[in-house]
């Protein structure tokens, strides 16, 4: 038998378009994998001209970066599309918003002007709602937490139970009317806002409320503030 014929090479993308999207309401419980499938269906329905990878199983050129965990809402998720021909970002936004499932909304789009979307996502701002928690106890625990140099926590991962420092990644943490407002540096391993809640519970075990997470922003750190990764 002869060797299997190599498939033709696909041309590179003509345009790389980066999108900012939100996941709201019940969409917070959608896994990252399920969203990926929903996005591919929406791209087909919206007739967005996707570029494809080469090989025996070509797939649309879609790159994800630092997705929020399942059960977290977000106003700042990012994805990059490789397109086969140039498109008006505003028209792509409108077409996708007509095709995506309820709860997913494309908020902004821009041409990629730098390499590495993931490298631009250096930190996130989160709100953590803790219904029914005594505010004075929460403020006291936050004060103790910020006074520490490190505070190890444990989280179950796909590779088993892992221990890491939750304090070092936290740039700021404050109690506000809507909940705990936390700015977290994207470290390895990645510290999540629920890890910060776990850390606070080690300081005060009575902080037992289930956290409700919402990401507000993520992007590059510019003079101590989070910038826009679509327009760095």
Closest CA to 16 of 91, 122, 116: 116
Q: Sign of dihedral through CA atoms 164, 165, 170, 174?
A: positive
- Helical (H) or strand (E) element with 199: helix 193-203
Task: Give per-residue pLDDT as tens, 2-18.
Answer: 566 777 788 899 999 99
- Structure-token match 């730098």, residue found: 114
Map out the domains of the chain as residue ranges. 15-119, 121-226
Cβ-Cβ contacts under 8 Å for 100 (sequence gap 6 or more)? 38, 39, 42, 106
Closest CA to 23 of 88, 60, 69: 69
What pLDDT, on a 0 to 100 scale, did the predictor assign at position 4? Answer: 67
In angstroms, the CA 38 to CA 23 distance is 12
CATH architecture of residue range(s) 121-226 = 2-Layer Sandwich (3.30)
pTM: 0.92
Name the DSSP letter for residue 60.
B
Q: Is 121-226 the same fold as 15-119?
A: yes
CATH architecture of residue range(s) 15-119 = 2-Layer Sandwich (3.30)
Chain-centre distance for alpha carbon 222: 19
The beta-carbon contacts of 132-136 under 8 Å, at least 24 apart in sequence, are 132/209, 133/207, 133/209, 134/206, 135/175
In angstroms, the CA 62 to CA 35 distance is 12
The answer to whether 107 and 54 are in contact (CB under 8 A) is no
The answer to whether 68 and 213 are in contact (CB under 8 A) is yes
The answer to whether 60 and 102 are in contact (CB under 8 A) is no
Task: Give per-residue pLDDT as tens, 35-74.
Answer: 999 999 999 999 999 999 887 788 899 999 999 999 999 9
Q: Is pLDDT above 70 for 1?
A: no
Averaged pLDDT score across all residues of the chain? 94
Task: Give per-residue pLDDT as tens, 85-128.
Answer: 999 999 999 999 999 999 999 999 999 988 799 999 999 999 99
């Amino acid at each position: 038998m002869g060797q299997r014929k190599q498939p033709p090479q696909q041309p590179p993308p003509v345009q790389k378009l980066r999108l900012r999207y939100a996941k709201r309401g019940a969409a917070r419980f959608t896994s990252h994998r399920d969203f990926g499938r929903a996005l591919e269906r929406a791209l087909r329905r919206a007739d967005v001209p996707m570029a494809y990878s080469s090989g025996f199983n070509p797939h649309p050129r879609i790159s994800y970066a630092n997705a929020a965990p399942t059960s977290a809402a977000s106003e700042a998720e990012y994805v990059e599309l490789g397109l086969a021909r140039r498109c008006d970002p505003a028209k792509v936004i409108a077409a996708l918003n007509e095709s995506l499932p309820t709860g997913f909304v494309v908020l902004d789009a821009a041409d990629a002007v730098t390499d590495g979307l993931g490298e631009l996502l250096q930190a996130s701002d989160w709100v953590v709602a803790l219904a029914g928690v005594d505010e004075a106890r929460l403020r006291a625990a936050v004060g103790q937490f910020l006074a520490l140099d490190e505070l190890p926590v444990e989280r179950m991962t796909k590779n088993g139970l892992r221990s890491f420092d939750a304090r070092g990644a936290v740039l700021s943490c404050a109690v506000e009317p809507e909940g705990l407002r936390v700015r977290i540096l994207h470290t390895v391993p990645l510290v999540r806002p629920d890890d910060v809640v776990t850390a606070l519970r080690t300081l005060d075990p009575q902080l037992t409320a289930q956290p409700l997470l919402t990401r507000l922003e993520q992007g590059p750190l510019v003079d101590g503030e989070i910038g826009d990764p679509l327009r760095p």
